[in-house]
Each structure stands twice: as C-alpha cells, then as structure tokens.
C-alpha cells in the first residue's frame, strides 16, 4: 500500500505539544519526519511528566503520544556548526515546522527568509499562541491562554457557573491539527504552482475560527453568546443522565418528534410521557427541568452502555460519557482500528490512538514508536547528508551533535 505523503520530508523544530502534534500526523500520512532536538535543552515533553522533572528522557508517555513514527537527530542549535548542520537538513526538506517563541528562529538565523535561500520552494510553518506578528506576539501562551483568548473558555461549562478553560490539552491538539491542514494546503499549492509558502499560525485564531459560527451573533446583533452546559437552544431532552454505577452518565438528545416517540417507546410508555406538556417540541423545551428529572429517574438504575443500545435501536441519539477505560476497550473503537498497540524500548507495549481518517488507497499508519533522542543520527548524518565518520565524531566531541 502506498502513503499519501510518501517522499515528503519534514524537518521538525517543534517542541512541547502543538508542533510535534502536527508533524506526527504528517508522519502517519507517510512523510519522513526528522525531529531536531538536543539533550542540552531537551523537549519539555521528555523532561517533564505529571508532577515534575523526570530523570529518564526516554520514559515519558507524554512524549510518546505525540512523537510516534519520527526520526530523531540530536543537534545543539546554540552552536554555529549545529545551525549549519540544521540548514543542510533543511536543504533536503519539503516542509519545516517550528513552534518556538516568535523571534527565536530569527535569532538563530533559521527563520523563513534565511531558510528559503537554501530551499527556494520551502514550506515553513510557524506556530505560536498569538502569532508571529502584532503587538502581543511575544506574549506567553499555554493551552488555557489561547482557549481563553480564542473565545472557547467563555462558551464552555454550565450557564450558572464560571467559564471553563478546557485544560484537557484540546487547544494545542487543535492548533497542531490545523497546522496539518495548513501544510497540506501549502503542499497542494506547491504541486500546482511550484511555489513554497510561509504560514504563521496563531493558536488563538485557530481556536476562535472553530467557534466562528458562535461569533456570528456578535457580527449580526452585537451580542456575545454564553455557555449553556449540555443544553441546546431548541432540543429537549438534551442532557446527560446519571446511570447505575460510579460516575456513569448517558447523553440523550432528541431533535424530532419521531425521536421523542422512540424514546417514549424505549422507556415503556410511562404515564408521565403522555402529559400534554411533553406532546410537542416547544412544550418539552419549556418543561425541560421536569423532563430531565423524569428521564434521570428512568436511567438511574440502568447500565449506560446497554441503555445506549436500547435507545439507538429506537432511533434515539444516545451515547455514554465514555471514560478512557471504556474507549480503549470499546468494540466499535477496536473494530475500526482507532486504538493500536505500539512497542517502546522503555515504556513497553502500550495502547495508543490512531489517525482519524481511513483511506481506501493510502492508509495512514504509525510508522514506528517514539524515537530515542538522537537514534537516527547515523541514518541521517551519514545516510542522508553523506558525512564521514570522522566528521561526525568531531561534531559529537564538540557537543554540536548532542
């Protein structure tokens, strides 16, 4: 089987999350990704885990999750020879990605104006919290910062409660995912025009564009929409309901009269369901609290997964609020290959999640485990750049290759 991006080489200056996320997806689509990193200042995802710093740079599951299928070369970019070596790699590349604080690549002499001299049709992606231009370009931004500035925090959570910063790393993940899209736009343009591109992507803007529909209320009416928990403007029932067990919940959403009839039938036509209040969609929405209480009473002693199957058989949209353990063992997830086991020399055999598109002709695949720091030095420096052993040894001695 072929891969969509076979023959495409990516030089990855990414670190922490959004950048490595992007290049890992490019690797799964078939690109050769060479990650440039150094033990002089290891990727935070190698060096930090959970409660603090770790001793072993090769035992980090954070790093594993977003660096699968890449090669790793160790180059210390604070040295002049290191930067020269990085440029040699860029000369062989189609795509360069970086997500350093804006200005850092310029200081290193590795910004787009410099790199495009070496590779005229280069595609370069720069990712940052606020973007590489504008008065806030140097401001620090972590995931909760750009979900906040990007307008999603205000829209997340319960109406009566405070906004929620969605710290579940989805902001970085979406910034990285948008960068995969940007890389493919640029590759397609290069295929059509022969020209490369520089793309300066702001994570705050990416996040905001994914609630761009919500922003329309301000554009139209000068109003800012608010968060509304699990509820919907018109649909009811539209909520999560507690089920049997510990912290088990089932989401149910009813959008049509037929779905309502399906729900009523699945519940066994309880007397309350025939009350005139609930006969039409407007009434169900107007009496949502009462409706939710009745449904919650019905679900309380039922297993969430069984009730999903029961309701779906009646044509009702219902799914449990799945936990990690549910997902890693879910029959649908497993049958679709959404979870795969990957061996790692230190972490052992682990389950991980695959790329979310199934191609009939160019299937994505996890090309390999997450690399040991510098494990591809020989392959890349000798094999790709044709350097001799003496030269490599000298650069190792000088801690350029480090």
Partner 1 sequence: MDGLKARVIELADFVAGPYCGKLLADFGADVIKIEKPGRGDDARFIGPFKDDVPNPEASGTFLYLNTNKRSVELDIESPEGRVAFLDLIRTADVLIEDRMPGQLARLGLGYEDLRKINPNLVVTSITPFGQIGPYKDFKAYHLNLYHASGQGYLLPMWAINLDVPPCQGPGYLGLFDGGMAGATATLAALFWRDAGGTGQHIDVSIQHAMMTLERSQLRRFTDEGVNPNRTGKGRLLESLVECAGGEFAVVILSSQQQWEGLWRAMGKPEWGVQPPFDTQKGRSDNYAELRKRLNDWSRTVTQDELFHAIQKEGSAAAPILTAEGVFKLEQFRERGHFVTIDHPVAGSLEYIAQPTRPSNVTLPPKRPAPLLGQHTHEVLGQLAALAAGTK
Which 332-371 residues touch partner 1, going by CB under 8 A? 332-333, 335-336, 338, 350-362
Of the CA atoms within 13 Å of residue 52, those in its CB half-sphere come to 1
Structure letter (DSSP) for residue 387: -
Binder of partner 1 out of 55, 160, 219, 390 (CB under 8 A):
219
Say how far apart CA 402 and CA 395 lie, in whole Å. 8
Q: Are 17 and 172 in contact (CB under 8 A)?
A: yes
227 binds partner 1 (CB under 8 A): yes
In the bound state with partner 1, the residue whose beta carbon lies nearer, of 222 and 268, is: 222
In the bound state with partner 1, the residue whose beta carbon lies nearer, of 38 and 153, is: 153
Could you tell me whether strands 95-98 and 9-12 are parallel, antiparallel, or unpaired per DSSP bridges? parallel
Residues within window 129-188 making contact with partner 1, judged by CB under 8 A: 130-131, 133-136, 139-142, 144-146, 148-158, 161-170, 172-174, 177-178, 180-182, 184-188
1 binds partner 1 (CB under 8 A): no
- Longest CA pairwise span in the chain (Å): 87
Structure letter (DSSP) for residue 56: -
Q: Are 349 and 341 in contact (CB under 8 A)?
A: yes
Say how far apart CA 401 and CA 386 lie, in whole Å. 15
264 binds partner 1 (CB under 8 A): no
Q: How far is the CB of 196 from partner 1 (least distance, A)?
A: 7
Tell me the number of residues near partner 1 by CB under 8 A: 147
In the bound state with partner 1, the residue whose beta carbon lies nearer, of 79 and 111, is: 111
Is there a catalytic annotation at residue 121? Answer: no
385 binds partner 1 (CB under 8 A): no
Q: Are 156 and 167 in contact (CB under 8 A)?
A: no
Q: How far is the CB of 234 from partner 1 (least distance, A)?
A: 8
Query: Strand, coil or helix: what is 96?
Result: strand
215 binds partner 1 (CB under 8 A): yes
Binder of partner 1 out of 38, 128, 201, 377 (CB under 8 A):
201
Catalytic residue selected from 12, 43, 111, 172: 172
Main-chain dihedrals φ then ψ at residue 80, nearest 5 degrees:
-65, -40
The residues carrying an active-site annotation are: 172
């Amino acid at each position: 089987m072929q891969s969509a991006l076979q023959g495409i080489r990516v030089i990855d200056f990414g670190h922490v999350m959004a950048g490595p996320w992007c290049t890992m997806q490019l690797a799964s689509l078939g690109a050769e990704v060479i990650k440039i990193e150094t033990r002089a200042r290891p990727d935070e995802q190698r060096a930090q885990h959970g409660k603090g710093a770790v001793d072993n740079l090769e035992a980090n599951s954070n790093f594993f999750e977003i660096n699968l299928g890449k090669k790793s070369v160790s180059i210390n970019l604070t040295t002049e020879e290191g930067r020269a070596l990085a440029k040699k790699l860029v000369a062989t590349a189609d795509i360069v990605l970086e997500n350093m604080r804006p200005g850092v690549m310029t200081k290193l002499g590795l910004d787009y104006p410099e790199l495009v001299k070496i590779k005229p049709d280069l595609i370069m992606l720069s990712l940052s919290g606020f973007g590489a231009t504008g008065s806030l370009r140097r401001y620090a931004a972590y995931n909760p910062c750009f979900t906040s500035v990007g307008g999603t925090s205000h829209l997340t959570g319960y109406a009566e409660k405070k906004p929620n910063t969605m710290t579940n790393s989805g902001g970085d993940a979406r910034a990285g995912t948008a960068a995969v899209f940007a890389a493919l736009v640029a590759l397609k343009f290069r295929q059509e025009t022969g020209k490369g591109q520089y793309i300066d992507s702001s994570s705050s803007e990416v996040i905001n564009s994914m609630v761009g529909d919500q922003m329309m209320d301000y554009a139209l009416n000068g109003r800012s929409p608010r968060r509304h928990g699990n509820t919907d403007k018109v649909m009811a029932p539209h909520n999560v309901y507690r089920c049997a067990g510990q912290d088990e919940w089932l989401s149910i959403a009813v959008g049509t009269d037929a779905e309502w009839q399906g729900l009523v039938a699945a519940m066994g036509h309880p007397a309350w369901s025939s009350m005139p209040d609930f006969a039409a969609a407007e009434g169900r929405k107007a009496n949502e609290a009462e409706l939710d209480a009745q449904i919650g009473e019905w679900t309380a002693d039922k297993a969430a997964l069984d009730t999903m199957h029961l309701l779906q058989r009646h044509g009702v949209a219902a799914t449990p609020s799945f936990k990690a353990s549910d997902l890693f063992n879910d029959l649908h997830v497993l049958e679709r290959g959404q979870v795969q086991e990957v061996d790692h020399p230190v972490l052992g055999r682990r389950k991980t999640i695959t790329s979310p598109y199934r191609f009939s002709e160019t299937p994505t695949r996890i090309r390999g485990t997450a690399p040991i720091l510098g494990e591809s030095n020989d392959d890349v420096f000798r094999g790709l750049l044709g350097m001799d052993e003496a030269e490599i040894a000298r650069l190792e001695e000088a801690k350029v290759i480090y």
